[in-house]
A and B are shown apart, each in its own frame.
Chain A
Amino acid sequence: MESDLAQFLHPGNLRLIGVSFLTTASLSFLGCTIGFLAGFGLALMRHPRIIPFAPARWLAIIYTETFRRIPFLVKLMVVFFAFQFAGLNVSMFTVAVTTVALSAAAFASENVRAGLESIHNNQWDAAETLNMGGFTALRRVILPQAWPVMIPPSMTYSVGLVKSTSIASQIGLFELTYAARIMSGKGISAALAYGSILILYFVLCYSLNRFAAWLEIRLATSRHRQTQRQL
Chain B
Amino acid sequence: MPHLVIDKLSASYDKTPVLRDVDLSVERGDIVCIIGPSGSGKSTLLRVLVGLLKPSAGSVSVAGQKINYDSAQALKEVRDRFAVVFQQYNLFQNMTALRNVTIAPTIVKKRARSEVDQEARALLTKVGLGDKFKSYPDELSGGQQQRVAIARALALKPEVLLLDEVTSALDPELVGEVLDTIRVLAEDGMTMILVSHEMGFVREIARKVVFMADGKIVEVGTPDQIFNAPKTERTKEFISRILSH
Bound state CA distance, A125 and B152, in angstroms? 14
Instruction: Check: B182 CB closer than 8 A to any chain A CB.
Output: no
Known A-B contacts A130-B156, A140-B103; the reply to A145 vs B93 at CB < 8 A is yes
Contact A122-B90, Cβ < 8 Å, known A128-B52, A132-B108: yes
* Chain B residues, CB < 8 A from A122: 86, 88, 90
The reply to whether A125 and B104 contact each other, CB–CB distance below 8 Å, is no
B244 to chain A, nearest CB (A): 33
Interface string of A121-135 (1 = CB under 8 A from B): 011011111111000
Interface Cβ pair total, 8 Å cutoff: 55
Interface range, A side: 10 to 19
B50 within 8 A of A: yes
Judged by a CB distance under 8 angstroms, whether A221 is at the interface is yes
Residue on A nearest B52 in the bound complex, by CB: A125
- A26 on interface, CB distance cutoff 8 Å: no
Decide if A130 touches B88 in the complex (CB within 8 Å): no
- Once the chains bind, are B79 and A130 in contact (CB under 8 Å)? yes
A112–B223 Cα distance when bound, in Å, is 50
CA distance A169 to B6 in the complex (A): 69
Given that A126-B90, A221-B94 are contacting pairs, would A140 and B52 also be in contact in the complex, using a CB cutoff of 8 Å?
A: no
Q: Decide if A141 touches B92 in the complex (CB within 8 Å).
A: yes
Is B243 close to A, CB under 8 A? no
| Cβ A136 vs Cβ B107 within 8 A | yes
Q: Which single residue of chain B is at the shortest CB-CB distance from A141?
A: B92
Q: Name the A residues within 8 Å of B19 (CB-CB).
A: none
Chain A neighbourhood of B94, CB < 8 A: 141, 144-145, 221
Is there contact, CB below 8 Å, between B103 and A131? no
Considering the chains assembled together, what is the distance between the CA atoms of A130 and B88 in angstroms? Answer: 16
- How distant is B11 from chain A, measured CB to nearest CB, in Å? 16
10 chain-A/chain-B pairs, Cβ below 8 angstroms: A123-B93, A125-B52, A126-B86, A126-B90, A130-B79, A131-B76, A131-B80, A136-B108, A141-B92, A223-B139
Interface, chain B (partner A; CB < 8 A): 50-52, 76, 79-80, 82-84, 86, 88, 90-95, 103-104, 107-108, 136, 139, 152, 156
Known: A122-B86, A122-B88, A141-B95. 6 other contacts (CB 8 A): A125-B90, A128-B79, A131-B108, A132-B104, A144-B94, A221-B136
